[in-house]
Amino acid sequence: MKITLNLGAVAPSVADVVVLGTFTKKEKKGKKEVNVPAFGNWPKACKDSLVGLTAGKSFNGEKGSQFFFDWEGQRILAVGLGEKSDYDAESARRTASSVITTLKSSATKIAINLDTVAVKGNIETTAGLFTEGTELSLYEFDKYLSTKKTPKTTEIIFDSKAKKTGAKKIQKAIDEALIVCESVNVARDFVNEPPNTLNSETYAKAVLADAKGIKGVRTKVLGKADLKKQKMGMFLSVNAGSAFEPQLVHLTYTPAKATKKTKHIAFVGKGLTFDTGGYSLKPGASMVNMKFDMAGSATVYGAFRAIAKLGLPVKVSCFLGMTDNAINSLATMPDSIVTAKNGKTVEILNTDAEGRLVLGDVLTYASEQKPDMMIDAATLTGACLIALGTEVCGLMGNDKKLADSLKKAASETDEYIWELPIIKEWREDMKSNIADLKNIGGSRWGGTAKAAAFLENFVGEGIAWAHLDIAGCGDSQGHLPYCPKKGASGLMVRTLVNLAKNN
């Protein structure tokens, strides 16, 4: 979407629709208290025009309310922002989302008066938030539809009375939001792609094609022979029944002015392009949508590309473990015992607990780079949906400081995250009597953190590590207007970018 900034605006830009926001306030009407709009910095004549309309009396500025009217030949959309004290960053994203959802199929050019929708009077952050709300809402996966869902809207103008001298900063907020949202949408595209077109080989190629030309980025891909050399017995066991080569995509972003003090973050992602469960086959209904089992890798890649494109002053290494979990005569059978890259032996009691096998070896590989912190993202356990619902990302790890900074980064971007403990009893439960470890616990209870207790064994000595289970939040988000109702959410990309910003 073309977003234009118009500062020093004395009148609204000429557009198909001009959007003005208003809070609501309580007013005494006889004995009753009613909500009425608090027009704030609306042009006076425009406010008088709305107040003069009989139908306009129904508009009270409550959150989510909308009212169209004409003023001096200009179509106006009044949007309610609710109570001023409740209006925050997330309200701004959601307001932008409701505006674009209402107008995208009818208005070519939309002018939004930033002064009337500003969060705590801050035009700069509001410009970024409105860009986010708009860009994330406009996402459609219409590649396979004969009739595309192209919006009619081609331009949004942000009007503000703010002085033109502030243009650079405000423009920067818009440009940064555009980069982050583009990256969220790239991640969503990868996840939504079906498994008959996206397999480990095509996925690795697509990531390399996307990363090509990003300043400071180097790429490397390890195939089956390389993984054998690396002795990644767990990763290879998952790929054993596949028609495609396993791929370990290793990307590095080094900022222009890197010094010895530059922080080094490692991202690791589960890239299961499809999870049938293997010989521990999933029942039909549970197998549907398992194309999304690579969402962890798409999430960390999305964050990686945004960080690199923003040119943030942190070094980031990104490791994507790609394969499907399929069956042929060579597929791994339950009861198999394999040896991980770090030498530990693992009894595979359930081939459907495959993500931890891939991630374990990739975590060991990533640890060799000696990052200051390592974060993995994975659609790892169905149990995470039971524990935290579809909205909340599971967080586990071995380092309080890293966990706290992830919680802070998530809260600042209004994404939900909740930490689960890893207790010694669960570490014990992941031990086998005939191998060092087994890939499932003795019972279903606490399955999400037991998976983390397994992963922990593959984190290099002394490395701060956090694990994000996105099994719930990576998929459809009914409650979020700027996420598709059905399909990949792209959640946690913004949190990870923010974490890198905060470092």
282 is catalytic: yes
Q: Does 324 help bind Zn ion (rule: CB under 5 A)? A: no
**Looking at 63-71, 316-324, 353-361, 392-400, which segment touches ligand BES (CB under 6 A)?**
353-361
β 74-83/2-7 pair status: unpaired
Least Cα distance to 235 among 380, 245, 471 occurs for 245
Q: Does 37 help bind ligand BES (rule: CB under 6 A)? A: no
Helix (H, G, I), strand (E, B) or coil at 426: helix
Cα→Cα distances 232→117, 340, 365, 369, Å: 53, 6, 9, 16
As given in the structure block, the two tokens for residue 407 are 């919680």
The count of other CB atoms within 10 Å of the CB of residue 217 is 18
Residue 404, exposed/middle/buried by CB under 10 A (0-12, 13-18, 19+)? Answer: exposed
Nearer to ligand BES, 354 or 415 (CB): 354
Q: Does 362 help bind ligand BES (rule: CB under 6 A)? A: no
Q: Does 135 help bind ligand BES (rule: CB under 6 A)? A: no
Helix (H, G, I), strand (E, B) or coil at 482: coil
Nearer to ligand BES, 115 or 275 (CB): 275
The strand pairing partners of 220, in sequence order, are: 250
Q: Does 348 help bind ligand BES (rule: CB under 6 A)? A: no
What part of residues 255-314 is at the interface with ligand BES (CB under 6 A)? 275, 293
What part of residues 423-452 is at the interface with ligand BES (CB under 6 A)? 440, 447
Task: Pick the catalytic residue from 309, 341, 356, 438.
Answer: 356
Nearer to ligand BES, 302 or 355 (CB): 355
Q: How many angstroms separate the CA atoms of 255 and 309, rounded?
A: 10
As given in the structure block, the two tokens for residue 85 are 């004290």
Rounded to a whole number, what is the distance in angstroms from the first to the last CA of the chain? 30
**Beta-carbon contacts of residue 426 (< 8 Å; ≥ 6 apart):** 441, 446, 449, 450, 453
> Nearest distance from residue 495's CB to Zn ion, in Å?
22
> Nearest distance from residue 141's CB to ligand BES, in Å?
19
Binds ligand BES by CB under 6 A, chosen from 84, 382, 399, 419:
382
Q: Does 379 help bind ligand BES (rule: CB under 6 A)? A: yes
Binds ligand BES by CB under 6 A, chosen from 193, 354, 429, 456:
354
Residue 10, exposed/middle/buried by CB under 10 A (0-12, 13-18, 19+)? Answer: exposed
Task: Pick the catalytic residue from 282, 408, 427, 431.
Answer: 282
The strand pairing partners of 79, in sequence order, are: 21, 66
Q: Does 296 help bind Zn ion (rule: CB under 5 A)? A: no
Binds Zn ion by CB under 5 A, chosen from 176, 189, 193, 293:
293
Binding mask 458-487 for ligand BES (x = CB under 6 A): -------------x----------------
Q: Does 376 help bind ligand BES (rule: CB under 6 A)? A: no
Nearer to Zn ion, 34 or 281 (CB): 281
Q: How many residues does the chain have?
A: 503
Active site positions, annotated: 282, 356
Contact residues toward ligand BES (CB under 6 A) are 275, 293, 350, 352-355, 379-383, 440, 447, 471
